[in-house]
Amino acid sequence: DTEVTQTPKHLVMGMTNKKSLKCEQHMGHRAMYWYKQKAKKPPELMFVYSYEKLSINESVPSRFSPECPNSSLLNLHLHALQPEDSALYLCASSQETGESNQPQHFGDGTRLSIL
Amino acid sequence: ELKVEQNPLFLSMQEGKNYTIYCNYSTTSDRLYWYRQDPGKSLESLFVLLSNGAVKQEGRLMASLDTKARLSTLHITAAVHDLSATYFCAVDRDDKIIFGKGTRLHILP
């Protein structure tokens, strides 16, 4: 069991669909992250939110749209995805970005398949 | 550009043996992490290393950091089958976390 909860666990969608991935943590963390992980590859950072503001966007295509409604929630809105976007999407949180000796806590991920 | 290299990328070893995974990074960093990932699962934090000479141990795993050499090691002592997993090191610089390619560790019973 992880303290970062992601829903759904699995998602299959067509290239014209719109869907959202959700992430929730109740550890009081002020930094939240989205990663993309392809099979047998390391996670790749997509977005970083710090105190509910987007602080890093790693040149992610606009078909991925992050949203942080409050300090406990992080969404990733998906629209017009491509087959190569099929991957495991991991959410993580940490106390803060910057000065911290604490690790990121990862959710179990959403396994996304684009038809 | 920050680059993180791990080696070996794949390691098959017998139970009871010792081995070391190496993690080199290209520029100065703020923090270094070690994570474990089981197949189809999420990442579990093992260690956070902050300063030169830091050494942390948990069970059969010990991690160290040499910031001057830009090198971290993860040492496995008397391996057991339960340690089979993929191990990632990751380096944090300016709030960007870059992962190494991972070391797939397979421990034979």
DSSP B20-64: EEEEEESS--SEEEEEEE-TTS-EEEEEEE-STT-EEEETTEEEE
> How many residues would you count in chain A?
115
| Chain A, nearest residue to B46 by Cα | A103
d(CA B52, CA A48): 27
> How many residues would you count in chain B?
109
Q: What is the pLDDT of residues B54-109, one digit of tens each?
A: 899 999 999 999 999 999 999 999 999 999 999 999 998 877 889 999 999 999 98
Q: Which of A101, A77, A104 is nearest to A89 (CA)?
A: A77
Decide if B72 contacts B32 (C-beta within 8 A): yes
- Whether the pLDDT of residue A101 is over 80: the answer is no
Average pLDDT for A68-93: 96
Provide the β-strand partners of residue A112. Answer: A11, A87
- Test B45 with A42 for CB contact under 8 angstroms: no
Q: In chain B, which residues have their Cβ closer than 8 Å to the Cβ of A45?
A: 96-98
Average pLDDT for A54-65: 94
Q: Could you tell me which residues of chain B have a Cβ less than 8 Å from any Cβ in chain A?
A: 30-31, 33, 35, 41-45, 48, 50, 88, 90, 95-102
- Whether the pLDDT of residue A2 is over 70: the answer is no
Under 8 Å CB pairs connecting chains A and B tally to 53
User: To which H or E segment does residue B105 belong?
Assistant: strand B103-108
